[in-house]
Amino acid sequence: MRPSKSRAYCKDAQRFKIFFKTENKAQNFIKFNHAEMIEESGFAPTRCYYCIACDGWHVSSSRRFENAANKTELVIQAFTAETLTVNHIPGTSTEDAIQKKVTTKKIEKNNLFIQQEKAERLLQKISQRIQTISLLLDKKSDKILIYNLIHESQRLLTKNRAPGFDTQIDEFKNLLHTQKAKANHIFKDP
C-alpha cells in the first residue's frame, strides 16, 4: 500500500517526500499505513499538510509544526509583508509620488524662470554695451576698449543661451558683428 512511486523531491522540506494529489489520498495513506509503520520503525505519519512548493499533500510524523506555516509560506508571507510595507511607507505612496512630481516640476519651472531672468539681465547689459560701442565708434576713439567690449559681449552671448531668447541673442550677435566690421574699418592701419 505504501506508494514509493509518488516520492518526489520537495523543495520546501529539501528532501524526498511522499506526494499526494489530494488531502483525501494523504489521509488514507495515514489511515492504512500508520499501524504497520509504527510496528516497523516506531515512526508513522500522524498528519498531512498541504505543501505550497509541491502544490500537493505530504504526510508528517512531526506534531511540532502542526499549525505553523512551512518555509515556502513563510517566505511568501515575508515577501507580502515587505511589499505591503513598502507600498504604505510615507513618501512612497501614490499621493506622495504625485506631490514629489509636482515639487520636481515646480523646481524645473523655477530653474527655467531663473535661467530666463538671467538671460534677460544679460541681454539688457549687452544692449547697453552695444549703445556704448556705438558712441565710441562715432567718436572713433578707445580702440582697445571697443574691441574688448565687442569680444566680451560676443563671448557672453555664446555662453548664456536660454529658451525663448534665441532670436534676440542672434540679433545682438549680428549687431556686434557689424560693429566689429565698422571698428576694423575705422581702426585699420593707413
34 phi and psi angles, rounded to 5 deg: -55, -55
Residues paired with 26 in a beta bridge: none
The nearest distance, CB 72 to Zn ion, in angstroms, is 8
Residue in this structure with the C-alpha cell 498531512, named with its chain if needed: 48
Q: Is 53 in the site for Zn ion (CB under 5 A)?
A: yes
The nearest distance, CB 9 to Zn ion, in angstroms, is 8
Which of 141, 32, 121 is CA-nearest to residue 133?
141
Residues 6+ apart with CB under 8 A from 25: 57
Per DSSP bridges, beta strands 15-18 and 47-51 are unpaired
How far is the CA of 31 from the CAs of 17, 25, 151, in angstroms? Answer: 18, 10, 100
Q: Is 51 in the site for Zn ion (CB under 5 A)?
A: yes
CB closer to Zn ion, 16 vs 113? 16
Segments in 47-93 forming alpha helices (H): 71-88
The nearest distance, CB 103 to Zn ion, in angstroms, is 50
The nearest distance, CB 78 to Zn ion, in angstroms, is 19
Residues paired with 58 in a beta bridge: 49
CB closer to Zn ion, 10 vs 126? 10
Tell me the window of 22-30, 49-57, 103-111, 150-158 that interacts with Zn ion (CB under 5 A): 49-57
Q: Is 73 in the site for Zn ion (CB under 5 A)?
A: no
The nearest distance, CB 62 to Zn ion, in angstroms, is 14
Could you say which of 10, 123, 136, 146 contacts Zn ion (CB under 5 A)? 10
The nearest distance, CB 53 to Zn ion, in angstroms, is 5
Could you say which of 18, 54, 136, 162 contacts Zn ion (CB under 5 A)? 54
Q: What torsion do the CA atoms of 32, 38, 40, 45 make, to the nearest 10 degrees? A: 60
CB closer to Zn ion, 65 vs 113? 65
The grid cell for 52 is 505550497
Chain residues in the site for Zn ion (CB under 5 A): 10, 12, 51, 53-54
